[in-house]
Structure 1
């Protein structure tokens, strides 16, 4: 007899571009444990499908006709408290990112959507939901229980942090690097990023190369007047 498995996490995609929505659907359904139950291309469709489908997760664009994705984010948080949101958008304005984070978005992913980046987020989300479900069955919370829900990380029995990101990559630092690059369209060197995030150049470069490997960032060589060429990192537009 096969062991019982958890039902797939149901996902609603809110995206005005039908082709992009279809690409996102195909990406999501390549990842184990997820199923797209609907696609909405405007606010009325989104509201109707939220009411009928009651999805566990929404992939939400910021810009679509006649509405703001940030307003939709706040609407979902107010009226569909059991539904989580991942923002997927071309918006690179720092204020939009800050508002999405303040509004309770689980993550914020820039377009064009990179499969590996989406997969990493959904893997973290799966772990987050599993831990949340476990805690709902617990009589009392400990500090380690709370830590497991923080930024997609968990703590082992010995109290040491265990990240769902690759070994040596801290989620908070990675987010700082991403935000630093998003605020400078001209590109940045590892040394420039290091100054912004308050880390060493070697640490900065390790995180930047991780993002290059994930496909979220690309690097070019910049030849200055003197000295050796430097790698300049830019987000993919």
Structure 2
């Protein structure tokens, strides 16, 4: 089994440890190191014979301004995949990070399901690239399931489907546990009707499968699982 090495760059020791626990819980991922400053991170990378596959980077690092460390990593280590894990919600910061080619952008506090969703997508994309020398558009579209691209007819989501809510619903299913619309609504904080609408939309796209649970009494319930 392929094992991906993750470098955590986070000045808050408590948050760094939480991120470490997330990585430890994910199959196929190990923590390569934890750095609390930009200088520490750059020194760590300079000493590596085997570079990390993924970097979790906070936007607020004490010995640099703004996203200077992101751009320095991009300049020195172009093959690194970088995920921002930060409390920075400013649109300007998010746009700059996206221009810097980050793999994902996670806003603190991070939920375990959202982190696991990101790691799974990372592993899936890496596996796809390693298994092929060329990709057809349809293959690439199936792999790149991310918030800034939603492969639907015409390139747009249908009316009534919001990309942020869609990500929240998919994140709720990322635990691998079958959910009813009611249980997913409780977990994600959306209404039951909203949860059902988004779940059925995902069923039509083939990303989620629905099963009938007849239970012991009463009407059967639809339970949803990631396909």
Tell me, yes or no, whether TM beats 0.5: yes
Q: TM-score, normalised by structure 1?
A: 0.63
Pairing partner for 2:94 from 87, 93, 97: 97
1:76 maps to which residue?
73
Give 1:82 deviation, angstroms: 2.0
Pairing partner for 1:143 from 136, 140, 158: 136
1:172 maps to which residue?
149
Q: Which runs of structure 1 show a deviation greater than 3 angstroms over 4 or more consecutive aligned residues?
A: 147-150, 211-220
Pairing partner for 1:204 from 162, 167, 179: 162
Paired residues, what number? 173
Instruction: Deviation per CA, 1:49-71: give whole Å up to 9, x if none.
Output: 12223211100000021214621
Give 1:92 deviation, angstroms: 0.4
1:63 maps to which residue?
60
- 8 Å contact 1:117–1:216 — kept in the other structure? no
Q: 1:23 and 1:208 mapped to 2: Cα distance?
A: 22
Instruction: Deviation per CA, 1:95-131: give whole Å up to 9, x if none.
Output: 1111111101000001001110010001000011112
- After superposition, the CA RMSD in angstroms is 3.1
Q: 1:108 and 1:58 mapped to 2: Cα distance?
A: 12
2:204 maps to which residue?
none
Q: 2:61 and 2:189 mapped to 1: Cα distance?
A: 28
Q: 1:90 and 1:21 mapped to 2: Cα distance?
A: 13
Give 1:164 deviation, angstroms: 5.2
Q: 1:103 to 1:132 in 2, by over 3 A?
A: same
Which ranges of structure 1 fall in alignment gaps of 5 or more residues?
155-162, 175-196, 221-237
1:230 maps to which residue?
none
Q: 1:104 to 1:171 in 2, by over 3 A?
A: closer
Q: TM-score, normalised by structure 2?
A: 0.66
Q: 1:106 and 1:66 mapped to 2: Cα distance?
A: 24
1:183 maps to which residue?
none
- 8 Å contact 2:83–2:104 — kept in the other structure? yes
Give 1:211 deviation, angstroms: 6.6
Whether 1:113 aligns to 2:72 is no
Q: 1:216 to 1:164 in 2, by over 3 A?
A: farther
Q: Secondary structure at the match of 2:122?
A: helix
Q: 1:66 to 1:30 in 2, by over 3 A?
A: same
